[in-house]
Structure 1
Amino acid sequence: MAHTHGVVLEATLRDDGSVAKVQCTGEPGDPGTFRPETSAPDGVFPLDGLPLTYPGETSPPLADGKSDTWCGGFAFAVWDREGQTLRAYRDHYGARPLYYHASRERLLLASEIPALVERLPNPGLDEIAVAEYLATGIPTEGRSFHKGILRLSPASVLTARRDGLSVERYWSPWTGAWMGSTRAEDLDEVFRHLLGRAVRTTLADRSPTGMLLSGGVDSSGVLGMAASLARSGAISRMPRVALTLAFEELTQCDETSLAMRTAAEHGVPWRPVRVEDTSPLSHLDSFMTRLGEPSIVTVNIAPATAIYAAAQEAGARVLLDGHDADGIFTPSGAYLAELVLRFRWVRLAQEWYALSRRHSQRRLVRECITPLIAKFLPMRPTRIPGWIRPELARRTGLRDRLRVHLPGALFEEREAERVHAAPVGLALEGTRTLERLFGIEGRHPYFDPALVRFVVSVPLDHRFARGHTKIMMRRALGNLLPHDLRSAVPKTSYRPYFDWTLRKYLGPRLEVMYKDGVRSLGDYVEESRLRPMLADALQGRSVDPALWRIVAMDRWIRAVLNEERHHETVSA
């Protein structure tokens, strides 16, 4: 296997589990984002960055694990030589990945899977991860596609010490309902302060910065806050460029008009980035080689690579975005079910009517009924996609793994925990891989721990009502937003683009799959059941999102995994 840059931390373990020795091997592949060991406190090993600190505050203490003072993306380890203990931390949201392999004799840590794979003798494919990925896109229990290599969950600490290895959460987004004033103006003031501090933190250094700007309120709010901070002298400079995806054929996906006006209003140079000319195959192999496995962000590869290439061309090393404001402001579909359980019939009718103007009745019924079934019929049989081989499902216990388990917590706490949902962390791992390919560091103001805790604690009525989301954000940032965004604007769906690009760029491969089958996935996929799904996509009827996973898995096995095995055979 060709060497992949990446630092690996190796801890030698004694028989009682305590750490005898720690050493770093390899070399950083991302000099712009990796903080070299020589700049870190003694015993601190940055695998993919250290925590940031808020402007004006002292450097965050690392050795004592006071994680409430940490912010930003990071993956690092701390060795307590005297206590013979090693602790490894992944940031609150999972913006920086952290993987590990543990045996009786050693613990290996890295922020890239291939760096671990090349240090292990033939780890082999984890069939459970394969089955779960094909069915849902989400391997559970921290699994990777390689046996023995696990991912540390966001906001978690992995500890190696005398009594063994353990994984614990060090931070939770939910600490209880907001105890302060719930007057709109008071909530708006707190939100504006916390977002301002988060944006100021991401712009505190002198790295040349760009802005991923859509036509929505999330990224527009970040840019507006940056402009406000610059005018007040709180930051020394604005992002050097704002980048927006541009669609000429699929005009229903295009937001350039509003984004251009937003950038002009704040005096930031703006650039449209055409994406329809970019095939998702153009960087797919290098992406999966660097990631080390297929990803749930395959559909986003073309837009992301186009944006990162444009940022690189503009000289930006850092890219700000408005990522995941949806996750902390907009409730899941379980909200409708919760209104049923709380007998809030009037509110249910209001929300249903408002949402039905943008979503089908079938979707609303499904989102309302599914949580109720999970609550009252927890042992209900789970449907496995018909195109997955029954033998694979039986070997991996897939039916039980796909059961919907509703945690026994308050609805508000369950909603807050969505920031740690597996799809969020997995998507961020893919995003981080793409950033590395282009030498870009993504920074995400809405990931700020204090901001997240505040927003999820605020009564939902201030965040979402009658189908309108981000109510508090629009109120608090009103004078920083273009007039068009101060009221609710329908969120742009990129589903038409994803379906279109699958047919245009992957159509030939889908035709081969339809005619000849998918030999690389013969142990996993029932070809006779897959063909109707392929026919629907090729004939323009409907595109099942699972096709993206099938294409990615097929490509990874044929073009990446087999090549690595061939290289290992030749080397041997």
Structure 2
Amino acid sequence: MCGIAGWADFERFPSREPQVLQDMTEAMACRGPDAHGCWFDEHVAFGHRRLSVIDPAGGGQPMTLEHLGRTVLAITYSGEVYNYRELRAELSALGHRFRTASDTEVVLHAYLQWGTAMARRLNGMFAFAIWDARSERLLLVRDRLGIKPLYYCPAGRGLLFGSEAKAILAHPDVAPVVDRDGLRELLAGVKTPEHAIFRGLRELRPGHLLVFDREGKRIQRYWALEAREHPDDLHTTVRTVRALLEDIVERQLVADVPLCTLLSGGLDSSVVTALAARSLAAQGAGPVRSFSVDFAGNERDFAASLVHESPDAPFAAEMARHVAAEHTNLVLGLGELAASSTRAVVPRAHDVPAALLGDAFASLYLLFRAVRERSTVALSGEAADELFGGYPWFHVPELRDADTFPWVAAGYDLLPALSGLLDPGLLADLDVEGYRAQRYAEALAEVPVLPGEDAAARRIREVGYLAVTRFVPMLLDRKDRMSMAVGLEVRVPFCDHRLVDYLFNVPWRMKFFDGKEKSLLRAAAGHLLPEPVANRKKSAYPITHDPGYDAALRAEFARLASSPGTPVHALIDGTATARLGSANGWPSRSGLEFMVQLDSWLADHDLAL
């Protein structure tokens, strides 16, 4: 998977400041525990931390391409290109010669052959930089869905970039400052494309590339969702989705290191696990290895809710038996989950506090840490709900048709949870509601239009577009940071752009043809699953229901509120401490979690607000 960092500057000479690049690269050491490397030219410097997945012996980076004894191209690359074998064969037929078996070298030669047009040929998750010495030009490219992160920051006449904000913040010319808009973005419950929390930093938008040379920077789009008529009937649509899923999972099983699946016992992860088990068996490489997470005492404490109707463990166990998986159920205890060391990992790895479901971040980190002891690559079921319509806000009219982001209407909103915890003057000054309304209007204006589409179909298209471009990125960020904190590569088959493109234009009547959530996915792959799993209702990523966890959070917040020396103290509502003893369910877990993480974040990053 890896971490990349770099610096291009036409006035300064990064090659004369090697320690700066070393610091930027080492800030992301966890992303690449297997190897590291740096490469310098007069006006550019590339750094790389490697997690070896494809061609461990030959795929070291940064990688260069020479002609007549001179370096003409260099690349620092993160991710996986799943069609690299086909591209390699095509390029070989065009006369290219390869010295490694890595996908990195294929990307380098693809640029040599097709220039920036090569981005449209890549199928995968990736973020990379190429320096073209022939034209003194830096190219940054990010995958279509934004599975792999890529930040950049103008610096004088130069440009800095990195897989994570912390790489850029390690540069001596960049101060960790969060301004009003950064705080608004943090609290709004939406991931606005291009926006980063830290002042001066930007994220390269998914499906875009950036060119930087002596004339400055230029950003180009190479992919976006488009509205088209859906020509297929239901039978053909089911068959097409099935064929796509089979091809996607088979491609994403390619690795030269141990691989597994993340199996919750829900429909999405079970489909991925079933397809992986079948493909591995056909290759004579089974059984599939799978992992799930549970919490000590969950059979006693579990309480059903709108997004957690049933506990995962029985369904995960049944699915594992069904495909004869080598299954591990990780049971997390309260002490491990509530430990201050665990809680501090989240804002440190994520570079920001978790705005919602902070314990889900922490438990995901602990799950990934356990998985990494036995596997280097894991396949996940993320994004299926957004593509196939699994969330309540696709089905409940008052949520679907609300004049805001539908997940906010459904309760994924941090603002109510912070009432009485965060200083009311600060909240009033930020006007997060106004900021969110502006971002919602901007997002709606982007949605592609299909002429003749009625209002109901148009709204479903809007909800689907918002989900893919504003909600999925938050989940992908969580997955990326928590997995890379332990050097684990997590792949997301449902984010294959071919599937996303196709499903965006499938009418709702097909996605919901039998009146059940995710009808189309069940029709395409339900035959691979045991009946209880195939018909299980949507259940979100699990959280602990142990009241001891909430008690530990309350105690930690009380400590922060009564300790003037803590970084977060000045931001706490002055009435909070007196109200903590109330028995009305206030404050909520998400509010407490955010405030505790906010303190760690402020301390770790030495932030100026």
**Counterparts in 2 of 1:387-406, with a 5 A limit?**
387=420, 389=423, 392=426, 398=432, 400-403=434-437, 404-405=440-441
Counterpart Cα distance in 1 of 2:405 and 2:171: 47
Counterpart Cα distance in 2 of 1:547 and 1:518: 19
Counterpart Cα distance in 1 of 2:163 and 2:405: 39
Q: Does 1:217 align with 2:264?
A: no
**Counterparts in 2 of 1:96-107, with a 5 A limit?**
96-107=148-159
Provide the alpha-carbon RMSD of the alignment: 3.6
Match of 1:53 among 83, 90, 93: 83
Counterpart Cα distance in 1 of 2:492 and 2:530: 21
Q: Which deviates more, 452-461 or 135-144?
A: 135-144
The corresponding residue for 1:23 is 44
- 1:204-256 Cα shifts (integer Å, max 9, x gaps): 2332111110111111111111222234x3x4524642111123422345322
* Amino acid paired to 1:325: A
Counterpart Cα distance in 1 of 2:579 and 2:390: 31
The corresponding residue for 2:386 is 327
The corresponding residue for 1:511 is 558
Q: Does 1:186 align with 2:240?
A: no
Q: Is the 8 A contact 1:177 1:457 kept in 2?
A: yes
- 1:376-402 Cα shifts (integer Å, max 9, x gaps): xxxxxx999755556545765645423
**Counterparts in 2 of 1:362-401, with a 5 A limit?**
365=398, 367-371=400-404, 387=420, 389=423, 392=426, 398=432, 400-401=434-435
3-state SS of 1:477 partner:
helix
The corresponding residue for 2:125 is 73
Counterpart Cα distance in 1 of 2:377 and 2:500: 22
* Amino acid paired to 1:82: R
The corresponding residue for 1:484 is 532
Counterpart Cα distance in 2 of 1:472 and 1:532: 52
> What displacement does 1:413 show?
4.3
Counterpart Cα distance in 2 of 1:407 and 1:552: 32
**Counterparts in 2 of 1:26-425, with a 5 A limit?**
26-28=47-49, 30-32=51-53, 36-37=60-61, 39=63, 43-49=73-79, 51-53=81-83, 56=86, 58=88, 59=106, 61-62=110-111, 63-121=115-173, 123-133=175-185, 135-138=187-190, 140=192, 142-161=194-213, 163-179=215-231, 181-182=232-233, 184-231=234-281, 233=282, 235-238=283-286, 240-251=288-299, 252=302, 254-277=311-334, 278-280=336-338, 281-296=340-355, 298-313=358-373, 315-330=374-389, 365=398, 367-371=400-404, 387=420, 389=423, 392=426, 398=432, 400-403=434-437, 404-405=440-441, 407-408=444-445, 409=447, 410=449, 411=458, 412-425=460-473
> What displacement does 1:445 show?
0.7
Q: Which deviates more, 145-154 or 37-46?
A: 37-46
- 1:116-142 Cα shifts (integer Å, max 9, x gaps): 112133514222255225533556463
Counterpart Cα distance in 2 of 1:438 and 1:324: 22
Q: Does 1:549 align with 2:594?
A: yes
Q: Is the 8 A contact 2:128 2:142 kept in 1?
A: yes
Counterpart Cα distance in 2 of 1:195 and 1:482: 18
Q: Is the 8 A contact 1:216 1:491 kept in 2?
A: yes
Q: Is the 8 A contact 1:77 1:87 kept in 2?
A: yes
* Amino acid paired to 1:304: L
Q: Which deviates more, 192-201 or 275-284?
A: 275-284
3-state SS of 1:503 partner:
helix
**Counterparts in 2 of 1:4-23, with a 5 A limit?**
7-13=4-10, 22-23=43-44
The corresponding residue for 1:429 is 477
Q: Is the 8 A contact 1:175 1:453 kept in 2?
A: no
> What displacement does 1:535 show?
5.0
Distance 1:289 1:485, change over 3 A: closer
Distance 1:74 1:500, change over 3 A: farther
Distance 1:333 1:250, change over 3 A: closer
Counterpart Cα distance in 1 of 2:141 and 2:579: 42
The corresponding residue for 2:409 is none
3-state SS of 2:247 partner:
helix
Distance 1:57 1:236, change over 3 A: farther
Distance 1:92 1:82, change over 3 A: same
- 1:385-424 Cα shifts (integer Å, max 9, x gaps): 7555565457656454232426244435433433543443
Counterpart Cα distance in 2 of 1:462 and 1:76: 37
3-state SS of 2:171 partner:
coil
Counterpart Cα distance in 2 of 1:372 and 1:312: 35
Gaps of 5+ in 1: 336-350, 356-363, 374-381, 566-572
The corresponding residue for 1:455 is 503
* Amino acid paired to 2:60: P
Distance 1:31 1:493, change over 3 A: closer
Identity of counterpart residues, as a percentage?
20
The corresponding residue for 2:28 is none
Q: Which deviates more, 138-147 or 503-512?
A: 138-147
* Amino acid paired to 1:508: A
3-state SS of 1:45 partner:
strand
* Amino acid paired to 2:150: L
3-state SS of 1:468 partner:
coil
> What displacement does 1:202 show?
0.8
- 1:488-527 Cα shifts (integer Å, max 9, x gaps): x222255762684641432311232455689533554433
Counterpart Cα distance in 1 of 2:553 and 2:332: 15
Number of residue pairs aligned between Structure 1 and Structure 2: 513
Counterpart Cα distance in 1 of 2:254 and 2:589: 43
Counterpart Cα distance in 2 of 1:495 and 1:316: 22
Q: Which deviates more, 106-115 or 119-128?
A: 119-128
The corresponding residue for 1:360 is none
* Amino acid paired to 1:37: Q
Q: Is the 8 A contact 1:247 1:254 kept in 2?
A: no
3-state SS of 2:166 partner:
helix
> What displacement does 1:48 show?
2.0
Gaps of 5+ in 2: 13-40, 66-71, 89-105, 303-309, 407-414, 450-457
The corresponding residue for 1:568 is none
- 1:443-485 Cα shifts (integer Å, max 9, x gaps): 1111111011112221112223576222111111132111223
Counterpart Cα distance in 2 of 1:509 and 1:247: 21
Distance 1:369 1:37, change over 3 A: closer
Give the TM-score, by structure 2 length.
Answer: 0.74
Q: Is the 8 A contact 1:247 1:276 kept in 2?
A: yes
* Amino acid paired to 2:529: L
The corresponding residue for 1:344 is none
